[in-house]
Amino acid sequence: QRAARFQSHLEIERKPVHMVSFNDDGVGGLDGGPIIGELTEMCSRAEAKEREMTRQLDKFEWKHGTDPRHPEVNLAVATKKYQRSSADKAYRSQDVRSLDACWRTMQFLMSQILDFDRCPKPAFAVQVVPYIDIYSYLRDRTRAVRVDLHLQQPRSTTQRTFVETHECCLRFEMMSLFLLAGGSGGSTEKYDEKLGLKAISQTIEPLLNAYQAVHDKQLAKSILAEAMGDFCLDDPDADQDYVSPYEMAAHRYIILLLMSFSPEELQSHMAKLSRETLSHPLVSFAIQGYAAFRTDDYGRFLRLYRNADFLSAVAMAGVVDLARLRALWLLVRTYPQPVGDKVQLSRISSVLAFASEVHARSFLAFHGMRVVDEPASKGGPVVILPKKGTPEALQNPLLNGPNRLPEKCEFPKGADSMLIAKFQELGMSRADIVLGAADPVVEPEPVPMVVEETPLVIAVGTDEAPQAMELATEPPVIALPAEAPAVAEAPAVAEAPHAEPREAERAEAEALPMQVEAPSPQAPAEAPAEAEPQAERATAAAPLPQAE
């Protein structure tokens, strides 16, 4: 009976245990394991046809000659649309783009769509599109790319496509922040800066996590290699972790963006960074800018803004008008009011980091400062600092306002002249900027060349001796030629009537620096004192005749 009970237990049907595997046609999730994208197209045919039927195609995906009321899809230029996730939504591997397809989609969007308002492409059905529509389309499609990458975590986190895609999205949002502020983006009616900053924050968090994951994985590999002696660590089939050369530039942008738009989170963010990251020159620039702004050193902050690269200046532009206003407030409150003063407009423009005189005039006029054109003045227009008690002084808001630094600048936001100048100075396409060509880099310091100087050996009694002696920078080593006339006696070893023994004199003569008298009147009469190695070489070249 006991055996029968165990026999019946063994006959019970066993349920298969789900193992972690990369299913080809299964649904990804906890049961099926992580997803590996299999879609090699920018958009699946099924999704494109479904959006065509439901009229969810974007104008960039229309086929040539189609009816705008019932557009047809052009599969060659269609890209996957972002779809919100839900609790019951299941993702399949065949619907998720592979890493190569994700990066190919990013390259297509940035090279073909980003500059469409300036360079229309004949492959598309539409030809006139404002940048705000381009931004809306790219923001949706890049978000869909990030979703496909996130679905393939943790495998994709340390891959090059994941890191570079998020870096491109960060640069794209920053450049759009400049273009849609009035620089060259056309209408700004639809643009919401808060939504743009939200998109930046959604890009920053996974990017920082990817940087940290790469460093942690490298640290674990180094510890394992040290413990196992590199045993079985070189796997050619393993995915290579990608260390981005733009990591420090991204940290720089993030610190400056937090300083401008979310200063309350900057301290906690910097506390998470390593000492090596904080001490890097690119990151140190951002820390200097933040320190200058927080310590009311607005002159230094504006100098940093004036000398910064384009994207760093875009990140600083959120508080640059406030820094200008506070610097102007300090100037107005510290000049000698009983007598008044005048300051050249060019100097004010330089101090406040304006790239154009028109921008400087509008900013000063908005804050109650008067600019006067004086033809007799060599420096051009001047800014009048009114005398105390005059109507201008009584009406100046900076002189009669609260006795504290302004907390907000009401100057209308628009295209900053300094940003426009930096953008034009780059001479790059938008795609190049988004792909990282405009990121700052640290140029390695040139290693000084060490030239070994060989001692100059001059033969006494030749024609080259005087010229060579004039050109020599080091004391030369003079060697006597074999055919040179012998020197009768050296003064250091001259024999006296009551001299000491010859051995003591010879030892004393060897200890003294060698002095040679040249027979030619053009040669130097006495050679400078030589170091011990040079004296030994000279002695080896031409030994002194032994005194009899």
Among the listed residues 90, 98, 102, the one whose alpha carbon sits nearest the alpha carbon of residue 36:
98
Q: What is the pLDDT of residue 114?
A: 96
Largest CA distance in the chain: 135
Q: What burial letters (b/e) apply to 98-118, b meaning 16+ CB within 10 Å? A: bbebbbbbbeebbbbbbbbbe
Pick the residue with more confidence: 485 or 377? 377
- How far from 531 is each of 67, 296, 435, 479, CA to CA, in Å? 95, 59, 60, 15
Per-residue pLDDT at 548 exceeds 60: no
Q: What is the pLDDT of residue 18?
A: 35
pLDDT tier, 518 (very low <50, low <70, confident <90, very high otherwise)? very low
Tens digit of each residue's pLDDT (9 = 90 or more) over 4-28: 544 444 444 444 433 333 333 444 4
Tens digit of each residue's pLDDT (9 = 90 or more) over 525-540: 444 444 444 444 444 4
User: H or E segment at 365?
Assistant: helix 357-366
Q: What is the pLDDT of residue 27?
A: 43
Q: What is the pLDDT of residue 489?
A: 45
Residue 355 pairs with which residues in a beta bridge?
none
Tens digit of each residue's pLDDT (9 = 90 or more) over 29-40: 444 457 899 999
Which of 105-109, 296-300, 465-469 bottoms out in mean pLDDT, i.e. has the lowest? 465-469
Which of 201-210, 416-425, 496-505 bottoms out in mean pLDDT, i.e. has the lowest? 496-505
Q: Show Cβ contacts of residue 342 under 8 Å, excluding neighbours closer than 6 positions.
A: 382, 383, 384, 385
* Burial degree of 255 (CB within 10 A; 0-12, 13-18, 19+): buried
Where are the domains positioned within the chain? 45-244, 320-420
Among the listed residues 68, 49, 59, 145, the one whose alpha carbon sits nearest the alpha carbon of residue 102:
145
Per-residue pLDDT at 323 exceeds 60: yes
CB atoms within 10 A of CB 91: 17
How far apart, in whole angstroms, are the C-alpha atoms of residue 396 and residue 472? Answer: 71
> Which two tokens mark 113?
């769509």
Q: Show Cβ contacts of residue 306 under 8 Å, excluding neighbours closer than 6 positions.
A: 353, 418
Pick the residue with more confidence: 68 or 186? 68
What does the angle CA 75 – CA 79 – CA 82 come to, to the nearest 5 degrees?
A: 140
How far apart, in whole angstroms, are the C-alpha atoms of residue 50 and residue 67? Answer: 17
DSSP string, 454-500: PPPEEETTSTTHHHHHHH-SSPPEEE--TTSPPPS--GGG---TTPP
Percent of the chain clearing pLDDT 90 (strictly above): 57
Instruction: Give me Rg for the CA atoms of the chain.
Output: 39
How far apart, in whole angstroms, are the C-alpha atoms of residue 299 and residue 293? Answer: 9
> Which two tokens mark 387?
């005398």
| Contact status, residue 340 vs residue 385, Cβ threshold 8 Å | yes
> How confident is the model over 458-465, as a mean pLDDT?
51
**Chain-wide mean pLDDT for the chain?**
80
Q: What is the pLDDT of residue 413?
A: 86
Q: What is the pLDDT of residue 379?
A: 74
How far apart, in whole angstroms, are the C-alpha atoms of residue 360 and residue 353? Answer: 9
Tens digit of each residue's pLDDT (9 = 90 or more) over 116-133: 999 999 999 999 999 999
How far apart, in whole angstroms, are the C-alpha atoms of residue 145 and residue 150? Answer: 9
Pick the residue with more confidence: 450 or 256? 256
Per-residue pLDDT at 326 exceeds 90: yes
pTM of the model: 0.74
Tens digit of each residue's pLDDT (9 = 90 or more) over 43-94: 999 999 999 999 999 999 999 988 989 999 999 999 999 988 776 678 889 9
pLDDT tier, 191 (very low <50, low <70, confident <90, very high otherwise)? confident
> How confident is the model over 398-407, as a mean pLDDT?
91
Q: What is the pLDDT of residue 21?
A: 34
Percent of the chain clearing pLDDT 70 (strictly above): 70
